[in-house]
Amino acid sequence: MMLLSSGTIFKSLELFAGHGQWSKSLAQKNWQTIVRDILIDSTHNVLHQTEQLFIDKHIALMDAVHFGLCCRTYSLAAHPPYRSPKHLRGLPTLSPKKRRRVDDADRMLQLVVAWFLICVRAGIAVSLENPLTSYVWRHPTLQVLMKSVSDNGPLYMVKTCYCMWGRRFKKPTAILCNYSELFHIARRCPHEKHSVKLQGNLTGRLGNPYPEAMCNAWSEALCLRAAVRRG
């Protein structure tokens, strides 16, 4: 655990953690990390009340919180699509099974927005990541978040590309956060071509894990912010 001279311990919580690379990078800097994802343990489903109670209990104790919200139904790469610019809450032609997926995803987004607001108001470093082209950024629920935080300090949209962190594909992504230190990882892609194009199964298999180098730089930004704020 990362200790200051005062004995302070830095703590983090990662939800929808997937491969957990964000937390691994912080753990390497001796942070105390909590990693939650349904792929790690089926009880980590944020739609279940027990998991919501767990998060409610721990979130205010954190120095940093990150939401790697699943982009499956929000993705422009989904074929056939789940949403469109005119139907951000789901296409009217969806099958019952896909409608349930969209509704569940929107319920998760509502929870994320509520927890994000808790962090902002408590001064906790908080971030939400999704692909740059994701419908998440246009979704009415997220727009409510953007309007709600105006009295609690600024929010920042940090944009970066996986190709700038050692990956063979571009994958532009965006991170909404409340700490300007994260601009440390902002990158623009200068490449004309990439050796790998994400499509089909490759979109998830290769595109989902955060690049290790990016997470290492991200963790440095969080360490800097935490050290300044906690003295």
Lowest pLDDT segment from 28-42, 75-89, 184-198: 184-198
**Cα 214–Cα 190–Cα 196 angle in degrees, nearest 5:** 70
Residue 201 has pLDDT above 70, yes or no: no
Whether 75 shows a pLDDT value over 60: the answer reads yes
Average pLDDT, stretch 57-73?
96
pLDDT at 78 over 60: yes
- Kindly state the average pLDDT of the residues 168-188: 92
Please give the mean pLDDT across all residues of the chain.
88
Answer yes or no: is pLDDT of 81 > 50: yes
Q: Is the pLDDT of residue 197 over 90?
A: no
Question: Which residues are registered as beta bridge partners of 176?
Answer: 128, 157
Q: Which residues contact 92 (CB under 8 A, 6 or more apart)?
A: none
pLDDT digits (tens, 9 = 90+) for 12-54: 999 999 989 999 999 999 999 999 999 899 999 999 999 999 9
Please give the DSSP secondary-structure letter assigned to residue 70: -
3-state secondary structure at position 13: strand
Q: How confident is the model at residue 164 (pLDDT cuts 50, 70, 90)?
A: confident
The per-residue pLDDT for 70 is 92
* Tokens matching residue 68: 């790697």
Q: Are strands 11-15 and 172-177 parallel, antiparallel or unpaired?
A: unpaired
The whole-angstrom separation of Cα 175 and Cα 185 is 10
Query: How far are the Cα atoms of 126, 187, 224 from residue 122, in angstroms, in the given order?
Result: 10, 29, 18
Phi-psi category of residue 59: left, alpha or beta, with phi > 0 → left and psi -120 to 50 → alpha: alpha
User: Which domains can be identified in the chain, with CATH numbers?
Assistant: 11-230 (3.40.50)
Q: pTM, whole model, 2 decimals? A: 0.90
The pLDDT score that the predictor gives to residue 194 is: 63
State how far the alpha carbon of 228 is from the alpha carbons of 31, 53, 225, 231, in Å.
15, 30, 5, 5
Q: What is the tens place of the pLDDT at every residue in 215-228? A: 999 999 999 998 88
Taking the C-alpha atoms of residue 121 and residue 113, their distance in angstroms, rounded to an integer, is 12
